[in-house]
Chain A
Amino acid sequence: MPEPLRLFQPTSIEEAVAVLAELGDDAKVVAGATALTLLYRQRLIAPGALVSIGRIPGLKTIEVVDGELRLGALVSHREVELSPVVRESIPVVADAFGKVANVRVRNAATVGGVMAESDYASDPPAVFVALDAVVDVQGSNGKRSIPASAFFVAFYETALEHDEIVIGVRVPVPPAGTGAVYHKFVTRSSEDRPCVGVAGVVRLHADGTVADLRVAVGAAAETPQRFWDTEALAIGKPLDADLIAQVADAYADQVDTLDDMRGSAWYRTEMVRVWVRRAIESAAAAAAPAR
């Protein structure tokens, strides 16, 4: 008989962290299991133990506290998508989670899972990066917070230590009047992962000049791509077609695009150019709904 896969079902974060600390890389944390099941079935991973965190209380919160939207690690994609709290505070977060795969996947996949997996072709990471979200994690050495932009390190690689788990994501609620959108562009079925996904955040001064502009590109490179220097060039300038094109071109030039079955590197570069432009345009339109 083969060695059975060991299953741990801790009821506290501390207990989960202790198991991880003891077993090291042989243990995998599992929540919704949508990604892990695929990897396991295709024999891309062969863990000796699973640490299922589903029984840990307190990780399913959706709330706005101190100007921050707080999402617990065990909140499902579907819950984010439908939550009135999310829809009222930062609707783009609900939109982005609602665009993931299909409803069956969204019912199982979790906020913590999509962060910890760090799949380059997931939708939510780009939105979190654009919104300056912070990832709260806990390990043997206690809690720490990592900016989303520093959390995703490479393909399937995050800033998590092996004994750390994601316990939640905090997203600052943008000031009133901010427009934020997420464009998911698929080249095949609507259920496919994005070829590129672009999150755009725009806030304008009364005179039409840019008060805030943030753009993050997902699925085009190993990790979500954001270029603060490029964003900064737009601040204080009128948001016209030329400025938008400059930002879009700068992103297209800077993203080191990858090649997969959803599009070649050349095509992705062109799509970064198109969708950064469209994301800024629609974020700007959302930022100034009444004229």
Chain B
Amino acid sequence: MDSHPSFAPSGTQMQVPGMLDANLRVRGRVEYAMDAKLPGMIHAKLLRSPHAHARLVSIDASRARALPGVIAVITGPDLANRDDIYPYYGPIFRDQSVLVMDKARFVGDPVAAVAAIDLDTAQAALDLIDVEWEELEPVLSLDDALAAGSIVHDEPPRLGQTFADIIVRTEANSNICNHFKLRKGNIEDGFAQADHVFEDVFTSPPVQHVPMETHNCVAWWENGVLRLISATQMPFSVRAQLAEIFKVPQTRVRITVPTLGGGYGAKTYAKVEPVTAVLAQVTGRPVRLHLTREEEFVTITKHGMQIRMKTGVTRDGKIVARHSTCYFNTGAYADIGPRLIKNGGFGTGGPHKIDNVWVDSYAVYTNLAPAGAFRGYGVSQAAWAYESQMDMIADRLGWDPYEFRMKNLLNEGEPVMTGEPMYDAHFKDLLATAAERIGWDANVKAVRHGNKVRGKGLSVIIKASVTPSTSSASVKLNEDGSLQILSSAVEMGQGAETTLSVLGGEVLDLRLDQVSITHPDTDFTPYDQGTSSSRNTYSMGTAVKMAVEDIKQQLFRLASDDLEVAIGDLEVFRGRVQVKGVPERSVGYGDLVRKARAGNLLATAVYASNGGLDPETGQGIGSVHWHQAAGAAEVEVDLDTGRIEVLKYHAGVYAGRIANPAQAELQTEGNIAFGLGQALYEEMIYDGGQLQNGNLADYMIVSIEDMPRQISLDVLERHESHDIHGIGETSLPPCMPAVGNAVFRATGVRILDLPITPEKVLRGLRANARPQAHVQEIDA
């Protein structure tokens, strides 16, 4: 049984289990895209570049094509000769080609695709493709990229339909892919007011999303329509991209999305779909492409990052200026990097009231695997810098890190870094609770117990949700009073379908078993920007509620005639419309639908948020809501080995109204697992452009045994609030700095580059350990 009790939204008859399909998931009964089997289906494999940067001199697939069982082989040059295909894609720049056309830009860049009757044959065919490469100087580091001795993309980027919130600023003959600027107040004046100025450089490595289900799809063509079953978080973005590639109207592409086995941002935008669709077209058969774990590692990653952060404070502890220069390593192809640098860039302003802020944030091309959306979306990298630096400043000036934060956290109505006022501010509440739960004591920095020392760390972060953005939903109320929700929200384990059913059903006071919800099908379910950015419960939830509210008004109009009372005197109660407070004067929904001879009542609603930033100053509306979270960690460090054990972790997040308590807690626990992995273990290690640990034997994520023995959660709700704040990512970014700050407080060793490995800590202990003030000695 579920350990979480069922939950009843107040004032309704609904009983909500933790998650609708939890039982099916655990028993392996959920159908994923990879379970789809179509008649005549064949299998695809990709030949990938062994070089980080190399010109394609020639490619000859004739031996592979002759292998019995091979149905088709396509190469980049084949596509270049096709007038009916535009072989480029990418959400902002069309800088990625379906297959390598001119040069490979990372180890793993696909250069040919084979479709064969089975995977073994497809794999064998790859070995029969003869490729001649001319190796080029690879761009392997940020320094290589900025030196511009070698250029990853020689041509200026091809722009596509872009997002309303993206400013594109590219430079010729450079590896700078995009540049975001924020100019708030007057930075010179700000530093002039400061009594102390601190400048530090922080880095985070690229890491992997590791969804349990790797990228996969099945594509086939049916009467001139491209059909796909795909594991994507963004069916409409993928549809638009495929329509562009095949030069057909979007009505000629239909994508259905079953439940995903995790996404975490990896499954945003087109990934495996373009090449699979081309193979399906060439062969006339359904084609499946399902990446191996090793391929998953080089398909999309979190951005590696370097941030130089300069912060000015007054002698009484007020932050008066911050200047950040951020370099996000977007790898070989831009993906959504040009937008992510905006969130990561303005994110460096942090949850503090700072009047003078200057940010330059760059997406930088290199010859590594592409980086894109990753749970946290640039904020993890930014928070690692500013929340580490908060403790460094406090330590240098002899202040309590808790008090220093309290003095600077945003209050209600104060301007955030984008200049807009902060509404519904709870940073201080979250921090106070975090400090209390971890047992923060300003006077005790570390507790030593033999060769082990314990310390505690705090952090607070702010995060945007993509703004502006759009979700739409349709609903049908049937003749029996049951409700169907047609939504393009993607269920990927987060419980979207449970939550949307609750949000829709409670408007009409229905039971959960009277509500159903579809998976996305671009032919039938209305547009949604994508299930990402912690936006689904709020944005799609709002669209669903608006549509069901429309149905309710239709029912009231019908009931008003039927019961001969004014609309204002009606209410819904347990599947019926009744005169307020008079249950005996009521009529069932089904009766109203039948009397209206409507067959069903229909409604559609669109929720679109507004906002955007000025391109020169980065000032404006950065987020429809500013998401808020705090973290607190207690660690124990082995002074002989440097090994860190996280004994306790507290996560606090502001949720506005909680739509589903069990799922909100589970999302937060998931964030802790993600965060601790990135704090302590996770790092994609490259050598000469070759990934050294691209599999789950060599790349470590946390296991259940690595989770802290004590976890506490504070999913903060304001009962009078009807506003839902996204919580899918918010509690992740605090983890890394909370752990880093705790390690510092315990040992005096400050790690600036993630992950915080035992070896780095031991080197720090040997090199610069200074006796910790206020260390309590405990007898063994």
Contacts and interface: CB of A to CB of B under 8 A. Distances in A.
Interface of A: 1-2, 4, 38, 41-42, 102, 185, 187-192, 261, 263-264, 267, 270-271, 274
Given A42-B294, A185-B641, A274-B641, A192 B700 contact: yes
Contacts of B120: 1-2, 4
Contact of B124 (A2, A189, A270): A2
Interface string B681-720: 1000100000011010110111101100000000000000
Contact of A42 (B677, B695, B700): B695
B680 A188 contact: yes
B703 A41 contact: no
Contacts of A4: 120
B611 interface: no
B709 to A, nearest CB: 13
Interface stretch (B273-281, B357-365, B723-731, B757-765): B757-765
Contact of B703 (A38, A190, A261): A190
Given A41-B294, A102-B703, A271-B641, A188 B759 contact: no
B757 A187 contact: yes
Nearest to B763: A267
Given A187-B758, A188-B757, A264-B759, 14 more contacts: A1-B67, A2-B67, A2-B120, A2-B121, A187-B759, A188-B680, A189-B677, A190-B706, A192-B681, A192-B700, A270-B762, A271-B641, A274-B640, A274-B641
Contacts of B702: 189
Contact of A191 (B123, B705, B759): B705
Contact of A1 (B69, B643, B685): B69
B251 interface: no
A189 B697 contact: no
A189 B601 CA distance: 54
A190 B640 CA distance: 18
Contacts of A188: 680-681, 700, 757
A191 B703 contact: yes
A270 B697 CA distance: 25
A261 B693 contact: yes
Contact of B697 (A38, A187, A267): A38
Interface string B742-758: 00000000000000011
Interface in B58-91: 67-69
Chain B interface mostly: loop
A142 to B, nearest CB: 36
A245 to B, nearest CB: 12
A267 B759 contact: yes
Contact of B705 (A1, A2, A185, A190): A190
29 contacts: A1-B68, A1-B69, A1-B120, A2-B120, A2-B124, A38-B697, A41-B292, A42-B294, A185-B641, A185-B643, A189-B701, A189-B702, A189-B705, A190-B703, A190-B705, A190-B706, A191-B700, A191-B703, A191-B705, A192-B700, A261-B685, A261-B693, A263-B758, A263-B759, A264-B759, A267-B759, A270-B762, A271-B641, A274-B641
A267 to B, nearest CB: 4
User: Interface size for chain B: under 10, 10 to 19, 20 to 34, or 35 or more residues?
Assistant: 20 to 34
A264 B702 CA distance: 22
Interface of B: 67-69, 120-121, 123-124, 292, 294, 640-641, 643, 677, 680-681, 685, 692-693, 695, 697-698, 700-703, 705-706, 757-759, 762
Contacts of A263: 758-759
Contacts of A274: 640-641
Contacts of B762: 267, 270
A261 B294 contact: no
A41 B640 CA distance: 38
A249 B701 CA distance: 33
Contact of B643 (A38, A187, A264): A187
Nearest to A271: B641
Most chain A CB within 10 A, of B677, B692, B701, B758, is at B758
A41 B297 CA distance: 14
A2 B119 CA distance: 10
A7 B692 CA distance: 31
A246 B67 CA distance: 65
Nearest to B680: A188
A2 B123 contact: yes
A225 to B, nearest CB: 19
Given A102-B703, A191-B700, A271-B641, A261 B759 contact: no
Nearest to B641: A274
The 10 nearest A-B residue pairs measured at CB: A2-B124, A188-B700, A188-B681, A189-B700, A190-B705, A267-B759, A274-B640, A191-B703, A187-B758, A1-B69
